[in-house]
Chains A and B, each alone.
Chain A
Amino acid sequence: MLRLGGSVIGFESSGSSSASKGESVADTIRIVSSYADVCAIRHPKEGAALVASRHALIPVINAGDGGHQHPTQTLTDLMTIYNVKGRLDRLTIGFCGDLKFGRTVHSLISACVKYHGVSFILVSPRELKLPGYVREEIEAAGAPCAETDNLGETIADMDVLYMTRVQRERFFNEEDYVRLKDTYILNKQKLASARPDLAVMHPLPRVNEISTEIDRDPRALYFKQAEYGCYIRMALIKDLLKEARG
C-alpha cells in the first residue's frame, strides 16, 4: 500500500485492537469501513474474512483466515510458478508438511485444480493430511493425486515442491506440535534426487523445514516468491480500489 502511494491504518498487534476486548468481526469491519478505502484482514478464525466482507462497505482482502484459506498467497504462488515454468498446466505439484492447517496449501490446490493436466503428490504425516473439503475439490476435478508420508521417494516426480511449516499456533495441544514439527526437513541430500528444474517454494516464514544449505541452490525460489508477493498484492489493491471507485 505504501509503495502505491497510500497510507496504512493498522494495529501493532491483535492485543491492541478492539477485537481483544470482545468486539465482533462485524463491528470491527463496520468501523474500519469508515476510515479506510480497502481492508486486508488476517484472523485466527476460519471464515472471518467472509463475515467481514458481508458487513464491509469497502473491498475486503482475505489475508489468511485461520487454517482455512490464504488467497493472496496463492496469487503470489501462481505468479512464481508461471514465471519459472512458463505455464500453470501439465505440472506435478508436491505439497509437503502440514497439509491440514496449511491455508496456503488449501488455496493453491483450489486454484491449481482448474488447470488441465495438473497432478498432486501430497506428503504429510497421518495427523496432518489434507482436509476433506480440499480433497473433494481434487476428486471433482479428476486430477491425479498420490498420498504418501515419504518425501525422499517422491521428490523425483515433482515439477514443483511446496514446503510448509508445521505451525505451533494451529495446535490446541503442545505435545502434538512438538511431536510433528520436525517430520520433514528438506536438505541437500533429499534435493539430490530431484529434477534439475524443480521449483522449491515455501510461503514463509520457515523454521527448519528447509535447511539453509539449499538457499543458494537455483531451485530454491522462496525468496523470489516473497518478492512477487509484494508486486501481486500491489496489483490487487490497485485493482480493487479502481473497481470500488468505478
Chain B
Amino acid sequence: MTHHSLTVDRIERGLVIDHISAGSGMKIYHHLNLDDLDCAVAMIRNVKSGKYGHKDIIKIENNIYLDLNVLGYLDPNITVNVIEDGVITGKQKLILPTRIRNIVKCKNPRCITSIEQEVDHIFELTNEGARSYRCVYCEQAAPKTE
C-alpha cells in the first residue's frame, strides 16, 4: 500500500502561522479575517508535529499586518514565521497580551457593555499561569479559548 502525503507549496514571500493547536486553525482564520484577503491562503489541518502530536498551519502569500495580540490570546504556543525569497527571515514568538480589545465579548448581562454600544469590550490578563482574563468593567471572566 502506498502512502500519499498532502503537500502544500512553499511560499516565496509571506507569513506562516505555525504550531496552531490542532483543530483551532479555522478559529484563528476567522479571527484574523483572512477571508477578506485577495492573496493565496492555505489552511492545513492535523499536520503531524513532533512537539505537539498534531497541529494546524496557515500560510499566507503576502506580508500582511497581523494582530499578534489576537494570536497570543487565542493560542500563545503559535509561532509566526516571516518568509522572504522562500526562506524564513524572522520568527515571532507570541506572548500573552496584558489587554485585549474587541476580541471576545463580555457575556455578563449585568455588565455595562451589554447596553452601551460605543464601549469596547476590553479584558485584562489577571492570571498569567491560568491564562485568565477579566472584563475591565464588571470583572467577569473571559470565555476560555480552549
Q: Could you list which residues of chain A lie within 8 angstroms of chain B, going by C-beta atoms?
A: 24-26, 43-48, 50-51, 65-68, 131-133, 136, 172
Contact = CB atoms under 8 A, between A and B. Distances in A.
B127 A136 contact: yes
8 contacts: A26-B116, A45-B111, A45-B112, A46-B112, A47-B112, A66-B110, A133-B139, A133-B140
B137 interface: yes
Interface in B98-117: 108-117
B119 interface: yes
Contacts of A26: 116, 118-119
Nearest to B117: A24
B114 A45 contact: yes
A24 to B, nearest CB: 5
Contacts of B117: 24
A141 to B, nearest CB: 14
B127 A45 contact: no
Interface in B80-132: 108-119, 126-127
Contacts of A24: 116-118
A232 B65 CA distance: 51
Interface of B: 108-119, 126-127, 134-141
Contact of A47 (B118, B137, B141): B137
Most buried by A among B109, B115, B134: B115
B116 A46 contact: no
Given A68-B138, A133-B139, A47 B111 contact: yes
Contact of A45 (B115, B126, B134): B115
Contacts of A50: 112, 136-137
B115 A131 contact: no
Contacts of B127: 136
Contacts of A65: 112
Contacts of B126: 133, 136
Contacts of A136: 126-127
A159 B67 CA distance: 51
Given A45-B111, A67-B110, A51 B119 contact: yes
Nearest to B114: A45
Contact of A48 (B109, B112, B134): B112
Contacts of A47: 111-113, 135-138
B133 to A, nearest CB: 11
A92 B108 CA distance: 32
Contacts of A132: 141
Contact of B108 (A46, A51, A172): A46
Contact of B110 (A25, A46, A51): A46
Contacts of B140: 133
A32 to B, nearest CB: 16
Top 5 closest pairs, chain A to chain B, by CB: A47-B137, A46-B138, A133-B139, A47-B112, A45-B112
A209 to B, nearest CB: 22
B117 to A, nearest CB: 7
B138 A66 contact: yes
A65 B113 CA distance: 13
A55 to B, nearest CB: 9
Most buried by B among A45, A131, A132: A45
Contact of B139 (A25, A48, A68): A68
A25 B118 CA distance: 10
B141 A51 contact: no
Most buried by A among B112, B116, B127, B138: B112
A156 to B, nearest CB: 33
Most buried by B among A47, A65, A133: A47
A66 B139 CA distance: 12
